[in-house]
Amino acid sequence: MGAHISAPLVYDGIILCPAILTPELVLKWKSAVEARYCDVDIARRNCGAATITAIAGTRERFVPTASSFTIGALSPEGDVSELLDSVSFGISGRWVKNILGWRLLCNLDQSWVRRQYAPSRYPPLHAPHGWHQDGALKFDFQSDPDGEFPRNATLNMVTCWIALDSCGLEAPGLELITERLGGLLSPTALRTEFLQTRFASKRFWRPTLQPGDALLFRGDILHRTHVIPEMTKDRTSIELRFFSAVSIPQRLQADRFIPFG
Ligand SMILES: [Fe+2]
């Protein structure tokens, strides 16, 4: 087990904040999440992975390839506002406001409960997340075949990734590249071999997190699931997406937003 950080770790565009959730909140959310994944396991046995989407309800989604629920699928057990209160308090809140301003929104359609399994236990269709930038959400990469995307194609946003389990060593965590890009990389440039030639090895960061720790990062930060065959435990996490209330991106206008902060 790695040493548990006690103070924030900061890179340009990334901050790792220890213990932003109290142990009580971690337990509460873990139990609500567990109940939902039990529903998924039953549905997988009874109807097969392809039809599981039906159990999340009409507006909420379950994505079998990522074993992820939109966060509203936990309601009424999950009250997102208590998570948002925890994030907006202290250094994590100041960090987000410094980037997005004081009028913050959480996008409920882009906020998820995720589970990454130990490689020996992958359910049907499940896969880890490959390299990507969250700021590319809903971007049409076909819009420019040459890959010269406008700088404003990258959403001005912050992802808040909260671990509910210890992760990064025995359970899958995240790997990030600690260098801001500003713009978007084309999907064809997101191969590990390419990224290893573009970025120095010291830029590849695989933090270990304890339950309740949070990683916050800007939309242009490259990241993926960190998973290796030796991992034996599963990891559950909550992923919230934040935007500025004064500049909701055009391509997310139809999503549900709630204010906080
Ligand atoms: Fe992501």
Looking at residue 52, what is its pLDDT? 56
pLDDT, mean over the chain: 90
The rounded distance, in Å, linking the Cα atoms of 171 and 103 is 35
Q: How many CB atoms lie within 10 A of CB 23?
A: 10
Model pLDDT for residues 77-106, shown as the tens digit of each residue: 458 999 999 999 899 999 999 999 999 999
Model pLDDT for residues 202-230, shown as the tens digit of each residue: 999 999 999 999 999 999 999 999 999 99
Positive/negative CA dihedral, 5, 204, 129, 58: positive
How many A from CA of 31 to the centre of ligand 1?
24
How many A from CA of 214 to the centre of ligand 1?
14
121 has pLDDT over 70:
yes
How many A from CA of 139 to the centre of ligand 1?
14
Residues whose CB is less than 8 angstroms from the CB of residue 44 and which lie 6 or more positions away in sequence, other chains included: 52, 123, 124
* Buried b or exposed e, range 101-137, using 16+ CB within 10 angstroms: eeebbbbbbbbbbbbbbbeeeeeeebeebebbbbbbb
Among 117, 98, 65, 125, which residue's Cα sits nearest to residue 237? 117
From residue 120, alpha-carbon distances to 53, 62, 104 in Å are 24, 22, 40
From residue 206, alpha-carbon distances to 84, 209, 247 in Å are 25, 10, 32
Tallying the residues shown for the chain, one arrives at 261
User: Tokens 């770790």 belong to which residue?
Assistant: 9
Looking at residue 1, what is its pLDDT? 44
Residues whose CB is less than 8 angstroms from the CB of residue 231 and which lie 6 or more positions away in sequence, other chains included: 118, 119, 169, 170, 171, 172
The rounded distance, in Å, linking the Cα atoms of 93 and 145 is 38
Per-residue pLDDT averaged across 180-186, rounded?
Answer: 92
How many A from CA of 130 to the centre of ligand 1?
9
How many A from CA of 241 to the centre of ligand 1?
10
Which residues on adjacent β-strands are paired with residue 224? 175
How many A from CA of 128 to the centre of ligand 1?
11
Looking at residue 53, what is its pLDDT? 57
156 and 100 Cβ atoms separated by less than 8 Å: yes
How many A from CA of 46 to the centre of ligand 1?
30
Q: What is the pTM of this model?
A: 0.93
Confidence of residue 136 (pLDDT cuts 50, 70, 90): very high
Residues whose CB is less than 8 angstroms from the CB of residue 117 and which lie 6 or more positions away in sequence, other chains included: 67, 123, 126, 172, 234
Q: How many CB atoms lie within 10 A of CB 26?
A: 20
